[in-house]
């Protein structure tokens, strides 16, 4: 019998694959049979994830890269394509957070958020679409956020950037539907990643458990999401079973968008 949600021998590129959601995405795609190329600026964690996947008999290749550098991104896309012969999946996962309103967000903050959260997605789409067209099509997943579609306090720059990711999704889906390229966005709410642990440690020393519980309860379901839960949604949207889905936004938020209003 055919294995559902199989990604056997599909070639994927994932950004920000060295930890958190990106790490889980790489591992789940590899478990489903994909050949995973992933980019990260963190060399140590990238090498660790590559080793973890290979030890489980998965196929993964880490590329050390600053995704804000357009030409470097292009070189890695080209070398990955030459190595694996196609590009079937692109997951634009890499991103950084920022806390602040319009008054206390500096020009440097805005430039940094733009470079990582918007320009890098453009670069990956710019090169990725070209290689997908050569491959006969594919699936693109953009990691947006609940902040893409709802106002969150003190998230001015971050919301701006994720709103851009959200709308880029629709442009790609519209422009390349005849090339058999599907493009969808995922909108997580709070997910328990190393970033959350670091944020609590730095801002609430001695009160980490208390604040973790408080943040967890902002989701109606009563807890934060797990990176693997986001990754399994990515895997589904990249599979042939999702071939009728494009130009859509999928909140994965424990009821945050609909049950908090």
Domain range list for the chain = 11-189+227-259, 194-224
Question: Range with the lowest mean pLDDT among 3-17, 63-77, 201-215, 236-250?
Answer: 201-215
Residue 24 confidence (pLDDT): 98
Let me know if 158 is a catalytic residue.
Answer: yes
Residue found by looking up tokens 């947006």 in the block? 144
Average the pLDDT over 139-151 and give the result.
97
Q: What percent of the chain has pLDDT over 90?
A: 95
- Measured from the Cβ of residue 97, the count of other Cβ atoms closer than 10 Å reads 15
Flag whether pLDDT at 195 surpasses 90: no
Say which of 114, 158, 199, 250 is annotated catalytic.
158
Query: What pLDDT, on a 0 to 100 scale, did the predictor assign at position 39?
Result: 98
Q: Give percent above pLDDT 70 in the chain.
A: 99
Superfamily of the domain at 11-189+227-259: NAD(P)-binding Rossmann-like Domain (3.40.50.720)
pTM of the entire predicted model: 0.96
Residue 153 structure tokens:
């306090």
| Nearby residues of 117 by Cβ (< 8 Å), 6 or more positions away | 95, 96, 158, 161, 162, 164, 165
Residues 121, 13: Cα–Cα separation, whole Å: 12
Under DSSP, the state recorded for 70 is: H
**In the prediction, which pLDDT does 261 show?**
60
Distance, in Å, from the CA atom of 26 to the CA atom of 103, rounded to the nearest integer, reads 38
| pLDDT at residue 63 is higher than 90 | yes
Average pLDDT, the chain: 96
């Amino acid at each position: 019998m055919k294995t559902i949600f199989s990604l056997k021998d599909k070639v994927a590129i994932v950004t920000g694959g060295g930890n958190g959601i990106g790490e889980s995405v790489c591992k789940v795609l590899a478990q489903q049979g994909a050949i995973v190329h992933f980019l990260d600026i963190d060399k140590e964690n990238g090498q660790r994830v590559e080793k973890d996947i290979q030890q489980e008999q998965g196929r993964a290749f880490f590329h050390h890269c600053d995704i804000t550098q357009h030409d470097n991104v292009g070189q890695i896309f080209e070398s990955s394509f030459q190595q694996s012969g196609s590009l079937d999946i692109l997951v634009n996962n890499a991103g950084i957070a920022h806390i602040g309103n319009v008054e206390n967000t500096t020009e440097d903050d805005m430039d940094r958020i733009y470079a990582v959260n918007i320009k890098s997605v453009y670069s990956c789409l710019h090169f990725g679409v070209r290689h997908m067209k050569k491959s006969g099509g594919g699936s693109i997943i953009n990691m947006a956020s609940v902040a893409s579609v709802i106002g969150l306090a003190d998230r001015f720059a971050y919301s701006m950037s994720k709103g851009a990711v959200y709308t880029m999704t629709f442009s790609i889906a519209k422009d390349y539907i005849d090339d058999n390229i599907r493009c969808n966005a995922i909108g997580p709410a709070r997910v328990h990643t190393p970033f959350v642990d670091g944020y609590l440690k730095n801002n609430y020393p001695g009160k980490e458990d208390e604040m973790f519980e408080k943040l967890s309860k902002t989701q109606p379901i009563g807890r934060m999401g797990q990176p693997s839960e986001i990754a399994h949604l990515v895997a589904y949207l990249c599979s042939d079973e999702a071939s009728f889905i494009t130009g859509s936004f999928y909140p994965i938020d424990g009821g945050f968008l609909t049950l908090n209003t």
